[in-house]
Structure 1
């Protein structure tokens, strides 16, 4: 699965001995980032070995997805050479629009609708590269 196909919730539930949910790596990265799974994993370490294993598996899948996407897992910064900006710096709406193949206005509309995370700095919006990758994958689905 490329992460671009939409699947119904039932497609992620498997198992004969009891239901098991399969979590795509990009979704694991999103959960880890927005759900603060690192803190959860640290706070409850050792309380339940199965929970520990699942949280470590989610973190591993998230790290692999970030590596394949060229995003550093420690700061959410892109490690690939970026001609239009410094490596690791957030993107402006114009840069994000160029990467997404949409207009600057479309990016600002996604921010306003809270579909794309961004931080307002002065008179411009800055978008983290990992947030942009999640938005891109969500649009493709």
Structure 2
């Protein structure tokens, strides 16, 4: 495969801004009470949708280190068809998926209504910012073709 420009190294200032945005999103998630394991599940799910192998491996490992179960990680791509996830997790996953696929469905009212039923405004905001951050990281890693070796 032809080497690509590593975007995180070619423009350190832009990448630092992305890291700062991600830190702010994480801080907001902390303040809103979003469980760290749920944050990793959101990152895994967005990375699955985007096909980002690099971020998938990273956030799967991070989730496991936080104590997430292999069963839940194995079925997160089909979360809507399983009984593994709480109402809060389901709403956050639905919102994250819609934000990730914004060009397809523009975050439909039904998804937002589902989120409003179980998430506070601060939690909705945190999930949205976490989703935006992981989607940006996915795009940087995919465009740069970050290597993923065993």
**Structure with larger Rg:** 1
Which protein is richer in helix relative to its size?
2
- Greater fraction of residues in strand: 1
Q: Which has the higher contact order (CA 8 A, sep 6+)?
A: 2
- Specify if TM > 0.5: no
TM-score normalized by the length of structure 1? 0.29
TM-score by length of 2: 0.28
